[in-house]
């Protein structure tokens, strides 16, 4: 009896402890900033290299499978080729696309009106009429009351002229663009509702680039994994709250915009800068069926989490599209290798983006086809079909 009386409080304590443990584990985990400390309290007794000089040579010997050309023809939804000033430029761009397997490039440079028509004329006059298509753009700077109507009218005219979508809407929208009264133009400003409603009515996608990586807004100390990039490019530093909104403020405005326009198909450039937090992007895909994402310039995040990224792309295979961003053809094969192989520990193409190596996701063929071209064709019925499997 004495044992039973003592056992009851003990059992209760165990239950309480387990409940507390489960509660703590179930809470969402956030990255912890840990300040580096010298190993074992030691300091090097040799001259120390700078951050740019230290490039250790890997001694790891594993199978290597470079992929110079994509397995399937690709639609690059986020292209920034040189200005298409004439048919000769179009031909030169396509000649650079061919060896890497890009079948169609979407020119997302942001042209409208007469410049858009000039680019469309250059494409028609070239030898490759079905290889480059155009998106149009809106200029939100200095937006005044009634300005949204004017932009919607321009959008409709540009689509009628031959553009297949809207974008890339650049990051200055929300980050720094001002209205006519001098206040910051918020992403969910009601004045622009008519623009997004027009895009929905015309059934065209909207490629939108909001903010930049979250670390660009975080404290600029030696725990910031983008420190080198920010040291090299002062224009990418958004820590000053008197000049720039916070990362989360921009994300909240963007999310309200998407929620308010459920018929508008938004494509988040750079996966919305959530490639480092795929669970957040997954929750957004689950919540908003009108939302898509493209993979331009975030390969460094996908390649450092190959198992999680593989599962994400399989689950959301109907919502992801290929995009490259900067037009540097020699960089495409890094994407093909990351998506198509199971290679381990290989280089990324820009050291100031990432100090780590990449690992292949080994995506199934069906997922590759959707990522490379199927989803883009579904979103843009006017996309040229030549060169793609039936």
Q: What is the pLDDT of residues 178-220, one digit of tens each?
A: 999 999 999 999 999 999 999 999 999 999 999 999 999 999 9
The whole-number pLDDT of residue 34 equals 56
Question: Which residues touch 207 (CB under 8 Å, ≥6 apart)?
Answer: 77, 78, 108, 135, 165, 166, 167, 168, 169, 267, 269, 294
* pLDDT for 25: 36
Q: DSSP string covering 78-137, please?
A: EEEPSP--SHHHHHHHHHHHGGGTEEEEEE-S---HHHHHHHHHHHHHSS-TTSEEE-B-
Q: How far is 328 from 324, CA to CA, in rounded Å?
A: 9
Q: Is 209 left (phi over 0), alpha (psi -120 to 50) or beta?
A: beta
CA distance 236 to 223: 17
pLDDT of res. 76? 98
The confidence score (pLDDT) of residue 30 equals: 55
Domain 74-379: which topology? Answer: TIM Barrel (3.20.20)
What pLDDT is stored for residue 371 in this prediction? Answer: 99
User: What span, in angstroms and rounded, lies between the C-alpha atoms of 248 and 241?
Assistant: 12
What span, in angstroms and rounded, lies between the C-alpha atoms of 161 and 153? 12
- CA–CA gap between residue 203 and residue 120 (Å, rounded): 20
Residues in the chain predicted with pLDDT less than 70, given as ranges, are: 1-39
Residue 41 is predicted with a pLDDT of 79
| pLDDT score for 256 | 98
Dist. CA 372–CA 71, nearest whole Å: 9
Contact assessment for residue 256 and residue 284, using Cβ atoms and an 8 Å cutoff:
no
Q: What is the pLDDT of residue 6?
A: 46
Q: Can you list the positions of beta strands (E) in the chain?
A: 74-80, 102-107, 132-134, 166-169, 206-208, 266-268, 291-294, 320-321, 325-326
Sketch the domain layout of the chain as residue ranges.
74-379
Sign of CA dihedral 33, 30, 350, 234: negative
pLDDT at residue 351, as a whole number: 87
């Amino acid at each position: 009896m004495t044992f039973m009386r003592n056992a009851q409080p003990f059992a209760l304590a165990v239950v309480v402890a387990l409940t507390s443990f489960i509660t703590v584990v179930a809470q969402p985990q956030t990255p912890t900033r840990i300040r580096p400390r010298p190993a074992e309290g030691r300091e090097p007794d040799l001259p120390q290299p700078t951050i740019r000089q230290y490039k250790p040579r890997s001694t790891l010997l594993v199978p290597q499978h470079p992929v110079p050309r994509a397995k399937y023809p690709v639609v690059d939804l986020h292209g920034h080729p040189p200005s298409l000033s004439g048919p000769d430029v179009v031909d030169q761009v396509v000649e650079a696309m061919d060896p890497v397997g890009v079948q169609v490039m979407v020119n997302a440079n942001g042209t409208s009106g007469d410049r858009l028509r000039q680019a469309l004329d250059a494409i028609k006059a070239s030898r490759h009429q079905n290889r480059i298509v155009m998106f149009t753009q809106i200029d939100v700077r200095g937006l005044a009351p009634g300005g949204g109507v004017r932009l919607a009218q321009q959008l409709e005219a540009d689509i009628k002229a031959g553009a297949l979508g809207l974008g890339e809407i650049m990051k200055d929208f929300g980050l720094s663009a001002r209205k006519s009264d001098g206040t910051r133009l918020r992403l969910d400003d009601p004045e622009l509702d008519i623009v997004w409603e027009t895009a929905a009515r015309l059934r065209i996608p909207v490629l939108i680039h909001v903010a930049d990586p979250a670390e660009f807004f975080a404290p600029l100390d030696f725990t910031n994994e983008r420190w080198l990039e920010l040291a090299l490019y002062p224009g990418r530093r958004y820590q000053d709250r008197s000049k720039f909104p916070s990362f989360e403020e921009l994300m909240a405005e963007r999310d309200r915009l998407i929620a308010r326009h459920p018929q508008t198909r938004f494509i988040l450039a750079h996966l919305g800068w959530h490639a480092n937090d795929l669970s957040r992007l997954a929750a957004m895909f689950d919540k908003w069926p009108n939302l898509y994402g493209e993979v331009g310039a975030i390969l460094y995040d996908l390649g450092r989490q190959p198992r999680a990224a593989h599962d994400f792309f399989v689950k959301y295979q109907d919502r992801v599209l290929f995009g490259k961003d900067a037009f540097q053809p020699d960089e495409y094969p890094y994407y093909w290798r990351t998506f198509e192989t199971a290679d381990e520990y290989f280089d990324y193409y820009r050291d100031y983006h990432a100090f780590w190596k990449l690992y292949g996701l080994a995506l199934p063929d069906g997922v590759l086809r959707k990522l490379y071209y199927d989803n883009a064709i579904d979103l843009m019925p006017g996309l040229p079909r030549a060169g793609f499997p039936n």
